[in-house]
């Protein structure tokens, strides 16, 4: 078959890829999601049909891209990758659709950022595997209707609420990825320590997992930093104490919050009297992008009940106030 075309990848560095599972069976956690995927994958293989389109949603770093890259590997089919912001007009999408082999996977990351025109162009491609192409210009222009090979679209979004209903409805399987448990993250940390060729105590991997905001990508970042720390300051073995010292140096607190998370909470407390405050106003005060706050900071704070969302805006909880006080008191 044709070689997979990798384009427009704005994702992590090489090292992140080296830690990425290569097959769904290598993935940790997300059990229900993996079981449902296994059903549709098995059925597609048995019927020798393309897999139905799949939509993944959830906060960043929970494994949407990992799922999207493991599925084609497990199926032994080609894979193309692009993203919503890279597809500015229908013509940007055409090469992907015409290059797609039968049963291959086309992954569109940040699919909620597709312009309306591209989204509408996708509808018939997803439903009937047909696209319209305009040949020529001006009065000579004519439209031809082209059949493309039956492919599978995998979409990923941090904001399923921003998807239009017609697009969402075209995905027969929609999966929400939720935060990981401490035990699951500890398992990821143990496995990745082996991949990074560093030894680690069990209590250290648990401590790191408890301070990784339920997110594998965060756990990997913590682990890499701690590996550097123990290599620089000690003999390269990760003990509980060294893990704690390394995270203290990065100002990661007991709940796993970093400076940006705490700055968000203190801004609401100090500037907005604890809230309610709109995310735009908070972002403006912090000199941050509202999207970053909504995607990367708020989900975990909401999940851990440090923050609540009300119709009038974001409010911190008593738990958040107490946490900030103890942190500053230290």
Task: Tell the smallest beta-carbon distance from residue 40 to ligand ATP (Å).
Answer: 18
Q: Which stretch binds ligand ATP (CB under 6 A): 56-64, 133-141, 298-306, 317-325?
A: 56-64
CA-CA distance, 115 to 177, in Å (whole number)?
24
State yes or no: residue 21 binds ligand ATP (CB under 6 A). Answer: yes
- 98 noted as active-site residue: no
**What does the buried/exposed string (b/e) look like for 2-36 if buried means 16 or more CB atoms within 10 Å of the residue's CB?**
eebbeebeeebeeeeeebbbeebeebbbbeebbee
- 139 noted as active-site residue: no
Residues 162-201 that bind ligand ATP (CB under 6 A): 188
- 64 noted as active-site residue: yes
Q: Which stretch binds ligand ATP (CB under 6 A): 42-50, 54-62, 163-171, 202-210?
A: 54-62
Q: Which residues pair with 133 in a beta bridge?
A: 144
State yes or no: residue 222 binds ligand ATP (CB under 6 A). Answer: no
- 109 noted as active-site residue: yes
The CA distances from residue 219 to 14, 22, 184, 206, 224, in Å, are 17, 18, 11, 11, 9
State yes or no: residue 28 binds ligand ATP (CB under 6 A). Answer: yes
Q: Which of 62, 111, 186, 277 binds ligand ATP (CB under 6 A)?
A: 62
Residues 99-128 that bind ligand ATP (CB under 6 A): 109
Pick the closest to residue 207 from 250, 251, 255, 249 (CA basis). 255
Q: Which of 9, 40, 52, 60 binds ligand ATP (CB under 6 A)?
A: 60
The answer to whether 304 and 253 are in contact (CB under 8 A) is no
State yes or no: residue 245 binds ligand ATP (CB under 6 A). Answer: no
Q: Which stretch binds ligand ATP (CB under 6 A): 60-68, 142-150, 204-212, 238-246?
A: 60-68
Q: Identify the active-site residue in 158, 215, 267, 304.
A: 158
Q: Which of 50, 216, 256, 275 binds ligand ATP (CB under 6 A)?
A: 216
State yes or no: residue 307 binds ligand ATP (CB under 6 A). Answer: no
CA-CA distance, 79 to 70, in Å (whole number)?
10
Q: Identify the active-site residue in 217, 227, 262, 314.
A: 217
Choice between 151 and 179, CB closer to ligand ATP? 179
- 224 noted as active-site residue: no
Task: Tell the smallest beta-carbon distance from residue 180 to ligand ATP (Å).
Answer: 7
Report the interface residues with ligand ATP, using CB under 6 A: 11, 16, 19-21, 27-30, 60-66, 109, 156, 158, 188, 216-217, 220
Q: Which residues have a catalytic role annotated?
A: 64-65, 109, 158, 217
């Amino acid at each position: 078959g044709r070689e997979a075309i990798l384009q427009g990848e704005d994702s992590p560095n090489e090292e992140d890829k080296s830690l990425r599972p290569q097959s769904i069976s290598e993935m940790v956690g997300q059990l229900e999601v993996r079981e449902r995927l296994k059903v549709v994958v098995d059925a597609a293989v048995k019927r020798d049909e393309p897999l139905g389109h799949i939509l993944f949603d959830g906060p960043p770093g929970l494994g949407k891209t990992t799922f999207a890259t493991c599925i084609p590997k497990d199926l032994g089919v080609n894979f193309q990758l692009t993203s919503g912001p890279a597809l500015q007009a229908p013509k940007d999408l055409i090469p992907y659709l015409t290059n797609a082999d039968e049963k291959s996977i086309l992954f569109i990351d940040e699919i909620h950022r597709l312009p309306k025109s591209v989204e509408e162009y996708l509808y018939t491609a997803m439903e009937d595997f047909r696209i319209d192409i305009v040949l020529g210009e001006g009065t000579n222009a004519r439209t031809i209707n082209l059949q493309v090979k039956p492919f599978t679209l995998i979409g990923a979004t941090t904001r399923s609420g921003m998807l239009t209903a017609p697009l969402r409805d075209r995905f027969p399987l929609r999966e929400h990825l939720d935060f990981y448990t401490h035990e699951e993250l500890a398992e990821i940390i143990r496995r990745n320590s082996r991949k990074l060729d560093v030894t680690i105590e069990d209590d250290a991997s648990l401590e790191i997992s408890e301070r990784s905001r339920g997110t594998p990508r965060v756990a990997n970042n913590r682990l890499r930093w701690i590996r550097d720390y123990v290599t620089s300051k000690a003999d390269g073995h990760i003990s509980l104490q060294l893990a704690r010292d390394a995270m203290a140096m990065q100002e990661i607190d007991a709940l796993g919050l970093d400076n940006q998370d705490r700055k968000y909470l203190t801004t609401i407390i100090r500037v907005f009297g604890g809230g309610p405050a709109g995310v735009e106003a908070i972002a403006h005060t912090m000199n941050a992008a509202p999207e970053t706050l909504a995607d990367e900071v708020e989900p975990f704070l909401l999940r851990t009940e440090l923050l609540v969302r009300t119709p009038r805006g974001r409010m911190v909880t008593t738990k958040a106030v107490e946490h900030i006080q103890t942190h500053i008191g230290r």
